[in-house]
Structure formats: C-alpha cells, structure tokens
Amino acid sequence: MDKIYAMKLFLCVAERESFTRAAESLGIPKGNISRQIQALENMLGTRLLHRTTRRVQLTQDGMVYYERARDLLANLDELDSLFQRDPASVSGRLRIDMPVTLARGLVIPQLRDFLQLYPGIELELSSCDRMVDVVREGFDCVVRVGHLKDSGLIARPMGKLTMVNCASPDYLSRFGYPETLDDLASHALIHYTLHLGSRPQGFEVRIDDATRWVKMGGTLTVNSTETYQASCLSGLGIIQVPSVGVKSLLKQGRLIEILPQYRAEPMPVSLLYPHRRNLSRRVHLFMEWLTGVLKKYVD
C-alpha cells in the first residue's frame, strides 16, 4: 500500500463525505478508494470513517488523523517547492491564535496583503480570551500578551504594548475627572479576569520601576475583552488596556484617557510555537510578516 496515496484518498473522502463523490472527483473507481482506505485503517489499527448509506463521517480517531494527514501532505507539497522563490509556491494550512484586540485592531485590517502575497496558504485564525492548548489543538503559533508561564513552548519576544487608562465621556460627566490616585477612591473600576470567581487586585500603577495596586470600588467583573471595552463605553467604569486596542475610540472621543502619568506596566507581546527542529516555510513567513505589522505598535 502506498501510504501517501491512501492518505490523499482518505482526505478526499472525508472532505466530500462520500466515496461516490470522491471517486467522481478523482476519476477512479469507488471500489479502489474503499480498498485503499480499509487497508489504511488496518495498518493504523483503528477506524477512521463511519460509513452509512447516506453519508460518510469521521470517527474521533479519524478527526485527529485528518488534521495530521492534511498538515503532512501540505508539508510534502512545500518540500517539493522548497527551492522555488515564487510566493505562489507556498501552500498549506496555518492555524494561528491571538488576542481579539490584536486581531481586530491590527492584523485583520492588513491581512489581505499577506493572503494576496501567498494565495496558496489557507489561514485558520482563532481569537478568544481562552488560552488554547497549542500542541493538542494543532496551532502552528500563537500570540500572547502579558507575562508568560513556563509552557514548554519556544517564545519569541516582539516588544511591549503601552497601556492607557480609559473612561467614557458619560462616566466622567457623572463622576468627575480623577487627577490623583487618591481620587480613585470615589471611582469604579471594571474588573477583568479570565476566571470568574477571582478578582483582580485593583488599579495597576508603575512607579519608579515598581508595580503598585490601588484598591478601587466597582461592581462589575467580566472575562471577555470585548465585554470589558463595551462596559467602559457604556459608562460603567474605568478600564486599563493596551493603547493600540482603543486608539480609534480615543481619536473619536468615545473614550478619554485619564491619569496618563499613572499608567500600568507595558504588556509584553510574544510569539509562541511548538519545539520543532524546523519550522515550515509558511509558518516562518507568517511570523516574519506579523513581526513587521506589530513593530510599529510595540516598544
């Protein structure tokens, strides 16, 4: 059995959810495909496909094998074009994760340039507040904002994001403009945490290379960056965010920076990726492009 050929047949059946449609698209007998995939399942010692009279579906093991086989075949195609300099020769899937703020404010507005330059790359972009499992979920690289924990991943520092303190004009008209840290005692902070049930320490301030926390009132705690920003826009309190995520809102006057002399510590930005001997060309190209995009916004 030619394993690479069998993999290609398996992917075709999985994507079309039908042996018949796969056979029609490939122009080979349906029976040949069925025998090849059965031989592949026998070799692996597991069933990859649930076969019914109406459709074909991936088993749990089939889903895992599909993702790995797709990446492997893409890498083989890339290997064939290793010495070609034409950007169009780069192909395959890229699975990336990054914070919503960076995706929405910086990457998405410029992403068309990257995809036009490398039309053979299929990009899967995840943006959520949840910390994805890079290895288990098959991510090629992720962007992390904040201090890193030991994860066993390779980390590539990209700089730091300047933080700002913001409130809405409506909020400031009702509660006044704080001038000093003591003024914060009569203000409300919108609390952000990844895990509800825990409560942040308060208003963060970087003074003389040391971080201080000013305890503040505030009855709202959220676990989503989108909700965090929306709550501030609605006049529910003060937030502390990277300036790049609110630059347009500040320019429009929908948010106002307060206490610019008392900012939180800049947040480090890092690229993380699994420990592999060699990164694929498409991953390397995306990381270099992303570094170029971010360098205008990090210190």
> At 82, is the pLDDT very low, low, confident or very high (cuts 50, 70, 90)?
low
pLDDT of amino acid 89: 65
Write down which residue in 46, 64, 80 finishes a domain: 80
**Could you give the CA distance from residue 149 to residue 135 in angstroms, rounded to a whole number?**
16
- The answer to whether residue 27 sits within a structural domain is yes
CA 201 to chain centre: 27
124 in Cβ contact with 93 (< 8 Å): yes
- The answer to whether residue 156 sits within a structural domain is no
272 in Cβ contact with 134 (< 8 Å): yes
pLDDT of amino acid 265: 93
CATH number at residue 129: 3.40.190.10
Is the domain of 277 the same as that of 146? yes
- The answer to whether residue 299 sits within a structural domain is no
> At 262, is the pLDDT very low, low, confident or very high (cuts 50, 70, 90)?
very high
Is the domain of 276 the same as that of 139? yes
- The answer to whether residue 158 sits within a structural domain is no
Is the domain of 75 the same as that of 17? yes
> At 52, is the pLDDT very low, low, confident or very high (cuts 50, 70, 90)?
confident
**Could you give the CA distance from residue 114 to residue 286 in angstroms, rounded to a whole number?**
8
129 in Cβ contact with 142 (< 8 Å): no
Tokens of 118: 């490398």
pLDDT of amino acid 83: 57
Is the domain of 169 the same as that of 205? yes
Tokens of 240: 């502390």
Is the domain of 138 the same as that of 186? no
Question: pTM value?
Answer: 0.69
Is the domain of 69 the same as that of 119? no
Write down which residue in 80, 106, 132 finishes a domain: 80
- The answer to whether residue 234 sits within a structural domain is yes
Task: Decide which of 261 and 71 is more confident.
Answer: 261
Give me the percent of the chain exceeding a pLDDT of 90: 43
- The answer to whether residue 195 sits within a structural domain is yes
- The answer to whether residue 157 sits within a structural domain is no
pLDDT of amino acid 120: 87
Residue located via tokens 């998405």: 108
Is the domain of 70 the same as that of 129? no
Q: What is the pLDDT of residues 198-231, one digit of tens each?
A: 777 899 999 888 899 999 988 899 999 999 999 9
pLDDT at 53 over 80: no
Is the domain of 224 the same as that of 140? no
List, as one string, the DSSP characters of 74-102: HHHHHHHTTT---GGG-EEEEEEE--HHH
Is the domain of 168 the same as that of 189? yes
pLDDT of amino acid 213: 92
Over residues 69-81, mean pLDDT: 71
Residue located via tokens 């059995």: 1
**Domain count of the fold of the chain:** 3
Tokens of 122: 């299929």
Is the domain of 284 the same as that of 146? yes
Is the domain of 180 the same as that of 246? yes
- The answer to whether residue 116 sits within a structural domain is yes
CA 7 to chain centre: 28
User: Would you call 252 helix, strand, or coil by DSSP?
Assistant: helix
> At 179, is the pLDDT very low, low, confident or very high (cuts 50, 70, 90)?
very high
**Could you give the CA distance from residue 291 to residue 283 in angstroms, rounded to a whole number?**
12
Note down the domain range covering 275: 87-150+271-294
pLDDT of amino acid 87: 60
CATH number at residue 48: 1.10.10.10
